Chain A
Amino acid sequence: MFGIKRSSNKAGPFEYSRKWSLRSVFLIGSIFLYAPIVVLIVFSFNDSRRGGNVLWKGFTTKYYGKAFQNDELMLAFGNSITIAVISTIVSVILGALTAVVLWRFRFPFKPLYEGLVALPIVIPEICMGVSLAMFFSAMGWLSTGDTAWPFNLTNIIIAHITFSFPFAAMVIRTRLQSFNREMEEAAKDLGASEFQVFKDILLPHMKPGLIAGALLAFTLSLDDFVITFFTSGPNTITFPVKIYSMVRFSVTPEINAASTILIIMTLILTFVALRYQRVDS
């Protein structure tokens, strides 16, 4: 008798997906976002000598083989991984300490300090790159190529830590927000010391944040181009910088293959990071 009347054809205010105009905007947006990546990946399997060739000449995986046999590319890849691992470890430790301090204590000018920590996130990367390059040259820390591996990567590692530790700190800080302070008191009430509370109660709570922060720092470091470009020397090429120089030389499907490898690594890490963030809530 009093059933809800359905107006079958008109879309309600929140039925975005039923509005034709909104659907097409979504579609066009998606095409511009993802089509280039899909093309890049597809053409890494194209049996053609030129990567820019838009004609499909048949399926091959030989350019992956070629990429793996390219010594310079593999050296750059090794550099990238080394830099990412070291800067991630340092970033997570620094980030965790910063997050705990900001969460736990009250001190004068705390908002100012919080702002300063977040600053590297908002500063344009190009400015960070230039300023770091100037800083290293002023300190006389230029990578000349004489230093032995992996110490020749020190400048890049320092640069990567400066931009990735704020991200780690933010992620860990967010996780700490959900910590029930009664838990800490309960542990103390049961006889735990300050350090035992940290080890047994706070750290396990922070764990998803630490992992998510680490994966974030790792991906940020792995695919950074701008800042690395400004702080790398002739012998300290990273994977993205190497790809860039290869593109300038000539575009071959090998570049597509190398880029695809980078994309897949980043995707996997981001996916895992998101999974851990979801464990949070």
Chain B
Amino acid sequence: MTDTIVSIRGITKRFGSVEALKNISIDIQQGEIFALLGPSGCGKSTLLRLISGFESPSEGELLLDGNDMTALPPNKRPINMVFQSYAVFPHMNVEDNVAYGLKMEKVPAKEIKERVAIALEQVHLSNFSQRKPDQLSGGQRQRVALARALVKRPRVLLLDEPLSALDAKLRDAMRLELVKLQESVGVTFIIVTHDQAEAMAMADRIAVLESGTLRQVASPAELYAHPADAFVADFIGNINAFDVQQISTIDTGVALHIDELGVIEWFSEPPSTISIPASSEDKVEATLSVRPEHVSISTTIPANDQVSIEGTLGDIAFQGQHSIAEIRLDNGRSISAIIANDQALILPGANKQLRIWAHWSINNMLLLPKKAPPL
């Protein structure tokens, strides 16, 4: 599973004076689900449109199976796309929609019929072949768009925000369905999304983009456990971040000076992306963070080996399997902790102003630069 199928090499895309993508290089592997993740306007769609051929790069090149395809028009690339609006042709029925791409290829009529039937089978639409798009639900229309692209047997399938037009319930079901479909057809999927949960649930690897730069490429677990910087950590799941004011070297490692937590001894090498200033008075661009699921709360002073902070109990939000408690720090900021429902039940409401301690093990903390240099 180490064959590179699409290679993005030093791609920069400018729209007039706007630099939508800055020197992006990514290798996408054969057969994986690869997610492009980032906040709105970060350039995800632009990157997808570059791969599909609807935009051409200002700089850099795109390889498919090692061959340069930068100059190929979209209809000559063995890559197909599922559009955000699905763009199902309204005047054609489901069958004709799916057959359209094969007709353009001049595939013999008999083969078209067979392949369309198989494609409709794959997306569970066999009984809907004669329906017009306006007689279909949103989820069914999306599956028409999927079948229409897959029937072409593309090397790569591009999906722009494939689930954003569906309601929450259907979205969860379609996540699983898309993954299953990908496993059965074995086509490489590149999915654009701004929803980290969606990317985490579906993708084998995720590229995190931020305002046109590539921040990190890694598997979901890796991204969660070892984010490259504070931006990625915050974007991938929730995190409680504490600004580090100063770093000084001590014999066992470094000492981190944090207003809210005091001085914390960090017994290992800090990441190379954090520059330790020569003078301990200089400001440091780093944060020390802990995920809410590692934070516990107690009404008594916690043990000494724990990092802890005192505050007032705020709102508790019931989430189903667990609850999220808000701890209001004395400086006005809040942090959150994931707690068990039975613990949440015995805690008083926010109006009781209960003083509590939030605590966690130092081993669960992440020392991260505020912003790592782009890849």
A-to-B contact residues, CB < 8 Å: 180, 182-183, 185-193, 196, 200-201, 204-205
Contacts and interface: CB of A to CB of B under 8 A. Distances in A.
28 contacts: A182-B84, A182-B87, A183-B89, A185-B81, A185-B83, A185-B87, A186-B81, A186-B87, A186-B145, A186-B148, A187-B89, A188-B73, A188-B75, A189-B52, A189-B54, A189-B74, A189-B75, A189-B149, A190-B104, A190-B152, A191-B75, A191-B104, A192-B100, A192-B104, A200-B89, A200-B100, A204-B91, A205-B90
Given A188-B75, A189-B81, A193-B75, A180 B148 contact: no
Contacts of A188: 54, 73-75
B105 to A, nearest CB: 6
Interface residues of B, number: 22
B273 interface: no
Contacts of A185: 54, 74, 81, 83, 87
A6 to B, nearest CB: 38
Q: Which of A185, A191, A196, A205 has the most CB of B within 10 A?
A: A191
B91 A190 contact: no
Given A188-B75, A191-B75, A192-B104, A205 B87 contact: no
B101 interface: yes
B75 A183 contact: no
Contacts of A182: 83-85, 87
A196 B104 contact: yes
B308 interface: no
B80 interface: yes
Interface in B208-260: none
Contacts of B91: 204-205
Nearest to A201: B89
Contact of A190 (B73, B85, B148): B148
Contacts of A189: 52, 54, 74-75, 80-81, 149
Nearest to B98: A190
Nearest first, the 6 A-B pairs at minimum CB distance are A190-B101, A191-B104, A186-B87, A182-B87, A204-B91, A182-B83
A191 B72 CA distance: 12
A180 B85 CA distance: 9
Interface string B137-178: 000000001001100100000000000000000000000000
A186 B83 contact: yes
A204 B91 CA distance: 7
- Main secondary structure, interface of A, reads helix
A193 B100 CA distance: 12
B134 to A, nearest CB: 12
A6 B72 CA distance: 70
A183 B104 contact: no
B208 to A, nearest CB: 26
A185 B104 CA distance: 14
Contacts of B148: 186, 190
A190 B87 contact: no
Interface in B72-127: 73-75, 80-81, 83-85, 87, 89-91, 100-101, 104-105
Contacts of A187: 89, 100
A189 B89 CA distance: 13
A200 B84 CA distance: 21
Contacts of B73: 188
Given A183-B89, A185-B74, A190 B84 contact: no
A104 to B, nearest CB: 16
A102 B80 CA distance: 30
A279 B73 CA distance: 35
Given A191-B104, A192-B104, A196-B104, A183 B152 contact: no
A193 B80 CA distance: 15
Contacts of B75: 188-193
A1 to B, nearest CB: 31
A191 B149 CA distance: 11
Nearest to A186: B87
Nearest to B52: A189
Given A186-B87, A187-B89, A204-B91, 13 more contacts: A182-B83, A185-B81, A185-B83, A186-B83, A186-B145, A188-B74, A189-B52, A189-B74, A189-B75, A191-B101, A192-B100, A192-B104, A201-B89
Contacts of A186: 81, 83, 87, 89, 145, 148
A277 B71 CA distance: 42
Contacts of B84: 182
Interface string B45-76: 00000001010000000000000000001110
A128 B243 CA distance: 76
A193 to B, nearest CB: 7
B152 A191 contact: yes
Nearest to A191: B104
Contacts of B83: 182, 185-186
A196 B52 CA distance: 19
Nearest to B81: A189
B94 to A, nearest CB: 15
Q: Which of A180, A186, A201 has the most CB of B within 10 A?
A: A186
Contacts of B54: 185, 188-189
Contacts of B101: 190-191
A182 B74 CA distance: 13
A187 to B, nearest CB: 7
A205 B90 CA distance: 9
Nearest to A207: B91
Contacts of A191: 75, 101, 104-105, 152
Nearest to A190: B101
A205 B52 CA distance: 25
Nearest to A205: B91
